Amino acid sequence: MNILLKSCTIIDPEGPFHLKVKDIYIEGETITSIEDSISLAADKVVEIPNLHVSYGWYDAKVNFQDPGNEVKENLSSGLTAAALGGMTAVSVTPMTNPTLSNKTQIEYVRKKAEYSPVEIYPYGTLTELGEGKNIAEYYDMSQSGAIGFTDGHQPVNAGIMYRALLYMKNVNSKVVSFPYDYSIFGEGQVNESKASVLTGLKSIPNIAEYLMVERDLSLTAYTESAIHFTGISTKESVDLIRDAKKNGIQVTADVYAHHLAYTDKEVLGFNSNFKVLPPLRSEKDRQALIEALKDGTIDFICSDHTPEDKENKDLEFDLAHFGMIGTQTLFATLNNVAGLDLSDKINAIAIRPRKVMKLPYATITANSRANLTIFDPKLEYSLNADDLASLSKNSPLIGKNLTGKALGVINNGIISIFED
């Protein structure tokens, strides 16, 4: 199938057509021409006001709950939500039931994306069955397509982390660490701040994150390995990572979009959709995260899409599960963040995550592979629950007026245009 994109602004910070308005002609899986004006016949012509195009967006952390919790989300609904959000790739977390702990499970989730414009690059568990006792089958899972290894929100002891970091050097992969010391915050619910005082909810102090970042950086330096931190939320952690990078430690990090857009003030209304882990932090932390993203201390942004059904979310705040959905609304969430321009955002959700996770990437040029997201960064719309493809609706954005929306995705020869 041939497709012609008319008068589109190309957002490709590393490419020759960045910020230029061009026509793009695509034949099958390949961009064959980029010109000021193209008049070739096409099976489909896309001509939409304020049309923008970038390399395909990649949400590097989603929790699709499949296998085991398909009532909350399955791979099909999750991939649909991701596509509607402009993603052409996602990385699913392994703490499902059963866990993604062997090559069979890795192959299972990858095969589910066979006919989707959204590719799945899964994580495998860091330990056998995610139980924290013995390191997992890294080589076999890597050969089957696992791009990194994590036990999700379950911390591992220093000995396991040390051995995992050593082994990663042999499989050209990396540990993905969610840095939290549960012994510090126990049953904490919200940030340790005025929010915890005013709500009366148990608190989660910044040091619970800082201590684990410090430990894992020390182990990474000692083993001369590489580590990726997911869900960094505090200024103290940012400072540690910035210094580690300056000292040559092989560390990368991501931040969840909601930590850039919101602060702990949101929980004062006891809306359980703002109950996330890490908790929403202070304005000081939020500003530190934005600055860290801009200076490269934090490498990229992801959604931490975590579906929860009504039985586990529509409860009193302290009883509700942690998490919010976000892959479909990732870009709109970022559009609420002052201090990041459009190039910053595209870098953080399309280019930099692919580089960190060693996924295919190329600038938008003639003869390159067509892996594209089509979007309008200024499109205004109201989000209804029925608009969300996720089986769960735990989003604080329902009923809100949003700006910025994906209009379609093109990948693997599959063309999905949502707005035409």
pLDDT tens for the chain, 420 residues long, are 899 999 999 999 999 999 999 999 999 999 999 999 999 999 999 999 999 999 999 999 999 999 999 999 999 999 999 999 999 999 999 999 999 999 999 999 999 999 999 999 999 999 999 999 999 999 999 999 999 999 999 999 999 999 999 999 999 899 999 999 999 887 999 999 999 999 999 999 999 999 999 999 999 999 999 999 999 999 999 999 999 999 999 999 999 999 999 999 999 999 999 999 999 999 999 999 999 999 999 999 999 999 999 999 999 999 999 999 999 999 999 998 999 999 999 999 999 999 999 999 999 999 999 999 999 999 999 999 999 999 999 999 999 999 999 999 999 999 999 875
The reported pLDDT for the residue numbered 287 is 98
What does the alpha-carbon distance between residue 290 and residue 124 come to, in Å, rounded to a whole number?
29
CA dist list (Å): 162 to 77, 232, 252:
37, 21, 17
Q: Output the pLDDT for position 258.
A: 98
For 189: left if phi > 0, alpha if psi spans -120 to 50, otherwise beta; the answer is alpha
The burial class, CB within 10 Å (0-12 / 13-18 / 19+), for 398 is middle
What is the pLDDT at residue 420?
Answer: 57
57 has which bridge partners?
87
Which amino acid, residue 173?
S
In order of their start, the domains of the chain are 2-53+366-417 (2.30.40.10), 56-356 (3.20.20.140)
Measured CA to CA in angstroms, residue 39 lies from 7, 23, 36, 321, 365 at distances of: 12, 9, 10, 54, 18
> What is the spatial distance between Cα 259 and Cα 48, in angstroms, rounded to a whole number?
32
Please state the separation of Cα 406 from the chain's center in Å.
Answer: 16
* Contact call for residues 40 and 25 (beta carbons, < 8 A): yes
- Three-state SS for 156? coil
Four-point Cα dihedral 46, 50, 55, 57, nearest 10: -100
Look at residue 237 in the predicted model and tell me its pLDDT: 99
Neighbouring CB atoms inside 10 A of 144's CB total: 19
288 and 355 Cβ atoms separated by less than 8 Å: no
Six token digits for residue 387: 């608009």
Is the alpha carbon torsion for 230, 233, 235, 237 positive or negative? negative
Q: What is the pLDDT of residue 211?
A: 98
* Helix 235-246 with 283-295: angle, nearest 10 deg: 20
Q: What positions carry a catalytic annotation?
A: 304
